[in-house]
Structure 1
Amino acid sequence: MKLALIAIALLAVGFAGIAIKIWGKKNGEFAGTCASNNPIFNKEGEPCSFCGARPDEKCLAEEKE
């Protein structure tokens, strides 16, 4: 029971941190949301499945606003 309460408390802290970050950002969006554009994860150099940016380019989703 004690372990379950600790796990729930840690999850609550995590969700609160994300909520505070979204609240503090302009338009409530994260900058650079293209995780698939990371060269560590994208070994073949494929474009981002979200915005189409290449690994050496900036996320194009930020510019569409």
Structure 2
Amino acid sequence: MALLKLSLIAAVMLGIGMLGIAIKIWGKKDGKFAGTCASQSPFLNQNGENCSYCGKEPSEQCAKD
């Protein structure tokens, strides 16, 4: 019974997460994310390095968008 309850809670949480992502995509113009490079986050890029995926600087928009 506990395993069933845990599985149900996990499925509901996963569904809420997917719904949140869908709402974010739906709410954005043309369904595009903005600022998906990790270098946009000052918490992940404390040294101000360029993005390893697209090569952009932290102050620029992602070049792969």
TM-score above 0.5: yes
**1:22, 1:28 within 8 Å by CA — same for their partners in 2?**
yes
Superposed structure 1 runs of 4+ greater than 2 Å apart: 36-40, 42-46
RMSD: 2.0
Cα drift, residue 42 of structure 1: 2.3
The whole-number CA distance in structure 2 between the counterparts of 1:2 and 1:14 is: 18
Name whichever of 22-31 and 39-48 sits farther off: 39-48
Identity %: 58
After superposition, the C-alpha distances for 1:22-56 in whole angstroms (9 at most, x for unaligned) are: 0121121111111134333224432112322223x
Q: TM-score, normalised by structure 2?
A: 0.72
- Is the contact between residue 37 and residue 47 of structure 1 (CA under 8 Å) also seen in structure 2? no
User: How many residues of Structure 1 are paired with residues of Structure 2 in the alignment?
Assistant: 62
> TM-score, normalising length from structure 1?
0.72
Residue 46 of structure 1 is aligned with which of 42, 45, 49?
Answer: 49
**Aligned partners of 1:36 and 1:48 also within 8 Å:** yes
Q: Structure 1: give runs of 5+ residues left out of the alignment.
A: none
